[in-house]
Amino acid sequence: MSTAASNIQYPDRLDFALSPTPLQYLSNLSKELDGPRLWVKRDDLTGSHLSGNKVRKLEFLFAQARALGADTIITCGGVQSNHCRATALLAVQAGFKCHLLLRGDEPELNDGNLLLDRLAGATISFYPSHSFESRLGEYFSHWQQHYFDLGRKAYAIPTGGSNATGLWGYLRCAEELTVQCAAAGFSANHWVTATGSGGTQAGLTLGAAILSPATCVTGMAVCDDSAYFARKVGADIVAWAEEFAELSLQNTQSLPEPLNALPVTTNDRYIGPGYALAGPEIYQTIKRVAATEGLLLDPVYTAKAFHGMLAEIDSGAWANADDIVFVHTGGVFGLFPHKQHFIF
Ligand SMILES: *Cc1c(COP(=O)(O)O)cnc(C)c1O
């Protein structure tokens, strides 16, 4: 595939995300802030229930699964994982079986994303939180062997779909966004996104370096610290260049050098009490943005990132940016399990 913005060569992709997603100007909030112009790249609109950022990564991952002859997808995440929900629904649409390995106890109620996983008919295994990370490799091997013994073939997708293959999804988004910013009459000074497993930030960082070098990409961490994401995002980009050396070579004219020295900017000051735990300022931000722009954020990812972005603007840290684009990564179903935290 090639487009007007560049001649980036992409690997095979299943076409599931509604794209390009719109770039919208937030006129009310921009007026309130009386500072930079705020824009939002509506990746919450990649679909209504397949919505959010994971769909873009899964388009490339599912294409690879199909090419390898897999019939089953295994992936993992929290009980309210948006990534697992998107995988479960896409698996149905693309004709795969799906098995989710979820971190935590089985809740009494099937709320939010978990309800949708159930509706999609995914097989679900729950594992204790405390040892989940350290034993995850073992869980994946166990189930892959299990399906192999049944004469089936399982394709494993890591947390958040963040690996070399998934990275293509946000390289492609960066290409869309570059074209849209130019059409809107600016070259974005700053792209901001929520960062959880790092793949979105990795794709945007690489894409900006190739296509829009004056743009600064900031990942707002919702877990882990900046040092962790510097390593993780850097490693994903290097793995991408190695795994897709042939395609990368075709893209060589536009590849920045050296890849392992790309600046990776992560802000870890707005995580709050922890992953999926939010303070009152986050629920306040959700109400403020819904009431001023009719735009919905979620307490796990996008509201933390948005709150952090507003705080950074307020502090004057980004005073040299005339235009800031918030990449909205979805997550609306994660709002409902937090209903008890809202005070009206
Ligand atoms: C997974 C997710 C993110 C984080 O994206 P990563 O690529 O995992 O860093 C951000 N927002 C939402 C709504 C998500 O579901």
pLDDT digits (tens, 9 = 90+) for 260-312: 788 999 999 999 999 999 999 999 999 999 999 999 999 999 999 999 999 99
C-alpha 266: how far from its chain's center? Answer: 14
**Phi/psi zone of residue 77: left (φ > 0), alpha (ψ -120 to 50 degrees), beta?**
left
Separation between Cα atoms, residue 276 and residue 298, nearest integer Å: 10
Average pLDDT of the residues in 47-61: 96
Structure tokens that stand for 302 in this block: 């996008």
State pLDDT tens for residues 5-28.
Answer: 577 899 999 999 999 999 999 999
Residue 155's H or E segment, with its range, is strand 154-157
Average pLDDT of the residues in 223-231: 96
How many A from CA of 144 to the centre of ligand 1? 25
Residues in the chain, overall count: 344
Q: Name the band, by pLDDT with cuts 50, 70 and 90, for residue 231.
A: very high
User: Would the pLDDT of 43 be above 60?
Assistant: yes
Residue type, 246: E
Please give the pLDDT value at position 1: 40
The pTM (predicted TM-score) of the whole model is 0.96
Verify whether ligand 1 is closer than 6 Å to residue 162 (CB atom). yes
% of the chain surpassing 70 pLDDT: 97
SS3 sequence of 72-141: EEEEEEECCCHHHHHHHHHHHHHCCEEEEEEECCCCCCCCHHHHHHHHCCCEEEEECHHHHHHHHHHHHH
Q: Which of the residue ranges 31-35, 164-168, 252-256, 340-344 has the most confident prediction, judged by mean pLDDT?
A: 164-168
Q: Determine how β-strand 37-42 pairs with β-strand 323-328.
A: parallel
Separation between Cα atoms, residue 98 and residue 121, nearest integer Å: 8
Verify whether ligand 1 is closer than 6 Å to residue 302 (CB atom). yes
Please give the pLDDT value at position 2: 39
316: exposed, middle or buried (C-beta count within 10 Å: 0-12, 13-18, 19+)? Answer: exposed
Task: Please state the atom number of ligand 1 nearest to the C-alpha of residue 195.
Answer: 9
234 Cβ partners below 8 Å, 6+ apart? 260, 262, 264
User: Would the pLDDT of 257 be above 80?
Assistant: no
Verify whether ligand 1 is closer than 6 Å to residue 301 (CB atom). yes
Average pLDDT of the residues in 95-113: 97
Please give the pLDDT value at position 223: 96
Separation between Cα atoms, residue 157 and residue 217, nearest integer Å: 25
Separation between Cα atoms, residue 145 and residue 331, nearest integer Å: 32
User: Would the pLDDT of 89 be above 90?
Assistant: yes
Average pLDDT of the residues in 323-338: 97
Is residue 317 a contact partner of residue 284, using CB atoms and an 8 Å limit?
Answer: no
φ/ψ (deg, to 5) at 124: -130, 130
Least confident of 176-190, 248-262, 267-281: 248-262
Verify whether ligand 1 is closer than 6 Å to residue 6 (CB atom). no
Comparing CA positions, the residue from 36, 56, 87, 11 lying closest to residue 310 is 36
Mutational pocket test of ligand 1: of 173, 301, 327, the residue with most ligand atoms within 8 Å of the beta carbon: 301
Structure tokens that stand for 226 in this block: 């900046």
Average pLDDT of the residues in 39-63: 97
Annotated catalytic residues are 81
User: Would the pLDDT of 249 be above 90?
Assistant: no
Q: Name the band, by pLDDT with cuts 50, 70 and 90, for residue 252.
A: low
Average pLDDT of the residues in 184-195: 92
User: Would the pLDDT of 226 be above 80?
Assistant: yes
3-state SS class at 304: helix
Exposed e or buried b per residue across 31-55, where buried means at least 16 C-beta atoms within 10 angstroms of its C-beta: eeeebbbbbbbbbbbbbeebbbbbb
Average pLDDT of the residues in 55-71: 98
User: Would the pLDDT of 4 be above 50?
Assistant: no
Please give the pLDDT value at position 253: 65
Is residue 305 a contact partner of residue 326, using CB atoms and an 8 Å limit?
Answer: yes
Verify whether ligand 1 is closer than 6 Å to residue 195 (CB atom). yes
Report whether the peptide linkage leading into residue 258 is cis, meaning its omega lies within 30 degrees of zero. Answer: yes
Please give the pLDDT value at position 8: 87
- How does the average pLDDT of the chain come out, rounded? 94
% of the chain surpassing 90 pLDDT: 86
